Structure 1
């Protein structure tokens, strides 16, 4: 997936079993925050950082979404354990990693996605993307800085 390309549409369930379709969010920016696996420390910190910045994302008209290959029941238990109140975390469980594959960031040898942030504009185009080392916590500040500078 390259900056400037159209993001592939998808429909996935969030931790509460609600269907979230990317194309239904047109008119707002969307941040897809891919994380390898629930119940791991860096992934937990990644999702908590999005939850903490949720109001700022809202003020910038951005819908932040976490996404990993974990099944919905695991996402639900993890969201509850993390105390997520607003952030939706999506299950790319079946077909396994299909959305991560569509974005070109699925790690076949590991069975999960890269750690990556993909920012999509109001028209469904990728406007910013970064893949991080798997053990590195993404800096939410760099995304917010990019959004503020637009």
Structure 2
């Protein structure tokens, strides 16, 4: 079954995996060992299924871009919702993206750059403080927010775990 990818759109792979895999394949072939798939797996994302495109672990305050159950990015520090307005857990999909979104929820204009909305309540991944909690959104530092924005597309699967 096809995943939520545009035809011809390649997902970025973890650099170490792309650099080390050929050498590992040569070494395994030379030794007559098991296929490359039996080699040590790439860094796995925490408790998300292999259908996730992004995996969030609220208890670890980290998120990963993932493909086929394996991390394709380094762990990204995040902050999430306050107890009175928590970030929901579960599986959802990317609904829309807005590069220059401005929220009016708090009665004032609040910039939310690189917003990737994942629920009907206006919660999103976006650039924000990774030291202060949010009102249900997932804050990423600017470089990570750009990377997530550039990678995820509407329909991609979001898994949020505690």
Q: Same fold per TM (> 0.5)?
A: no
Which of these two proteins has the greater Rg computed from alpha carbons? 2
TM, length-normalised to structure 1: 0.32
- TM-score in terms of structure 2 length: 0.30
